[in-house]
Amino acid sequence: MTTTTTTPDQGPATTTGAVPTVTGAFPTVGEQLAHVGSLVRAARQHRGLTQAQLAERLGTSQSAVHRIEQGAQNVSFDMLTRIGAALDSPIVTLGAPQHTHLRVHGGLQLSGRLDVNTSKNGAVALLCASLLNRGTTRLRNVARIVEVDRIVDVLRSIGVRATWSTDGRDLEIVAPRRLDLGGIDADAARRTRSIIMFLGPLLGLEDTFELPYAGGCDLGTRTVEPHMIALRPFGLSVTATAGNYHAVVTDPGRRDLTVVLTERGDTVTENAIMAAARRDGVTTIRNASPNYMVQDLCFYLELLGVRVDGIGTTTLRVHGLPEIDADVEYSVSEDPVEAMSLLTAGIVTGSEITVGRVPIEFMEIELATLAEMGLRYTLSEEYAARNGRTRLVDVTVHPSELRAPIDKIHPLPFPGLNIDNLPFFAVIAACATGETLIHDWVYEGRAIHLTDLTRLGADVRLADAHRLFVSGPTRWSGAEVSCPPALRPAVVILLAMLAAKGTSVLRNVDIIARGYEQLQERLVELGAHIETFRD
């Protein structure tokens, strides 16, 4: 997204940044400066620079950079251009926004260690849940990705005070007594499916409200009906007209509730938990997802004083509180999907790398499946995550001769193979001897995007919208591919390019920033040769 400003004698100029922003002009100069400042800050943090380091590149003072980022200093077009050049992320461009592409020089062995970043799915759930608390929520080690920033934009637009720490890693959130839902940033809301997780907390705070339709990856039809089924017992009624959900909340008429989820979905479960948290009664949720982001949410609610029985199982009993006002601090747990992404980079390049801080409880099936395929790996002793609850290990993968598994590879709700980790097995299977059946039964159409691996030399045949036959081993070769419009397949193509000899180009990679923080830079740390360029 872009924000249009006008510069003398140059016509429209477009401000862009590492984080997509809201379309439309701002009504005051002060708000415009604040918006530009947030773009500069996001781009600087995306590059991992301090204010002092950026100031050194610009030949100015740290205090000047600080004022710019706070929106407290007028910024010339020339200065914005210089900042964009210093950060390799144009803050201002003339005309249409530029798309980002990657040039990958593949066939190189990787080495070294990377630690797993915290979970974006966990962070998004916690951001939504912060609406329940009238005290101060401090979230530690929050993933700085587009999806998170969109939710933060939405929260701020309805009156929530959300303040990043100086290093951009921690977020302090204070919700007002009364939310300004009429001021919601509809553009940011429509660009993320996560907005649907506002339904759960809001039904405990409002009698009537509206939310914009949800967006997100292009993965085919994904019904919201499971959310409606989960929330109707709480008195929620929703109609959809003119691009908005219109919600009406009535008293369900009883103190204790039992909710049976028809789909053991992560976000469905989170919505039901958040709806239960502000009820003066006990809610039993059956067929609940026990996945990592759900556990993060439960751990946070416990700090708020909400008792949750059965964490890690499919039956939860939530002892709600009609008022929640607590000052709490919580560290988001590590992301098993990023862990799988990094491990895959080592596997497909035949490298020995160590991936640290892997949440082993949510990776055991993946590692067991890889072991059946012949992967050699070693695990460290377990240690605790910063939240004190999640179990972590370091995983070292070794170069291995892989073979196709006897049975198909398919996902299941936790504790099965993670639905978001399934696409990585397509590129791994392409490196194995034999034929593998990948069955992606959850998403309509995601498997189709994985056929782009054929452009790089893989033998991938689509049986139907949900099933792929992958034969290997593959003689990977470089090619130019347009980034699929779905996050995980996009990363799978990038990882295959690491294995492909020669030069590959992955075009329009902006979607990767939705779920990964500086993935390119982190792969470069392991020895990958990846360059960013723009048209």
Beta strands 111-115 and 352-359 are: parallel
Place of tokens 């509206």: 210
- Higher-pLDDT residue of 527 and 150 is 527
Give rounded-to-5 percent helix, strand, coil for the chain.
Answer: 35, 25, 40
The answer to whether residues 224 and 193 touch, using CB atoms and an 8 Å cutoff, is no
* Cross-strand bridge partners of residue 444: none
Upstream peptide bond of 12 is cis (omega within 30 degrees of 0): no
Q: How far is CA 466 from CA 30, 337, 419, 420, 470, in A?
A: 50, 20, 13, 14, 13
Average pLDDT over residues 129-143: 96
User: What are the phi and psi torsion angles at 308 (to 5°)?
Assistant: -125, 115
For residue 273, pLDDT over 80 is answered with yes
Instruction: Give the confidence band of 443 by pLDDT, cuts at 50, 70, 90.
Output: confident
- Judged against a pLDDT cut of 80, whether residue 362 lies above it is answered with yes
Question: What secondary structure does DSSP assign to 176-231, as a single string?
Answer: -SS--GGG--HHHHHT-GGGGGGHHHHHTT-SEEEEEPP-----S---SHHHHHHH
Sign of CA dihedral 24, 27, 33, 35: negative
Burial class (CB in 10 A: 0-12, 13-18, 19+), 464: exposed
Residue 370 structure tokens: 């890889």
The DSSP letter of residue 426 is H
In this predicted structure, the answer to whether residue 72 has a pLDDT above a threshold of 70 is yes
Most confident among 83-92, 218-227, 463-472 (mean pLDDT): 463-472
Q: What is the CATH number of domain 102-117+334-534?
A: 3.65.10.10
Query: What are φ and ψ of residue 156, in 5° steps?
Result: -65, -35
**Based on C-alpha coordinates, what's the Rg of the chain?**
23
Exposure of 178 by Cβ count < 10 A (0-12 exposed, 13-18 middle, 19+ buried)?
exposed
Comparing 17 with 206, the larger pLDDT belongs to 206
Instruction: Give the architecture (CATH level 2) of 120-331.
Output: Alpha-beta prism (3.65)
- Structure token pair of residue 154: 């939405």
Helix (H) or strand (E) holding 364: helix 364-372
- Which pTM value belongs to this model? 0.81
Dist CA 489 CA 16 (whole Å)? 25
Q: What mean pLDDT do residues 157-177 have? A: 93
Q: Which two tokens stand for residue 43?
A: 């781009």
**Where are the domains positioned within the chain?**
1-95, 102-117+334-534, 120-331
Whether pLDDT at 219 is above 70: no
**Is residue 261's pLDDT more than 50?**
yes
For residue 21, the model assigns a pLDDT of 36
Residue-level pLDDT at 528: 97
Determine the pLDDT at residue 254: 86
Q: pLDDT tens digit string along 226-249?
A: 898 999 999 999 887 777 889 999
How does residue 29 score in pLDDT terms, banded at 50, 70 and 90?
low
CATH topology identical between 1-95 and 102-117+334-534: no
Query: 190 near 215, Cβ under 8 Å?
Result: yes
For residues 69 and 311, which has the higher predicted lDDT (pLDDT)? 311
- Tell me, what's the pLDDT at 96? 55
pLDDT over 70, % of the chain: 90
pLDDT digits 0-9 by tens, 302-361: 999 999 999 999 999 999 999 999 999 999 999 999 999 999 999 999 999 999 999 999
The amino acid present at 309, given as its one-letter code, is: D
Interhelix angle 146-157/120-129, nearest 10 degrees: 10
For the residues 473-492, what does the mean pLDDT come to? 95
**189-203, 332-346, 423-437, 517-531: segment of lowest average pLDDT:** 189-203
CATH number of this structure's domain 1-95: 1.10.260.40
pLDDT in the model for residue 144: 86
Instruction: Give the containing element (helix H, strand E) for 257.
Output: strand 257-260
* Phi, then psi, of 136 in degrees rounded to 5: -100, 125
How far apart, in whole angstroms, are the C-alpha atoms of residue 494 and residue 143? 21
The torsion angle over the Cα atoms of residues 268, 216, 151 and 363, rounded to 10 degrees, is 60
- Please give the mean pLDDT across all residues of the chain: 88
Residue labelled with tokens 């059956």: 286
* Residue 222 confidence (pLDDT) above 80: no
pLDDT band at 93 (very low <50, low <70, confident <90, very high): low
For residues 534 and 508, give the distance between their C-alpha atoms in angstroms, rounded to a whole number. Answer: 9
Rounded CA separation 378/494 (Å): 25
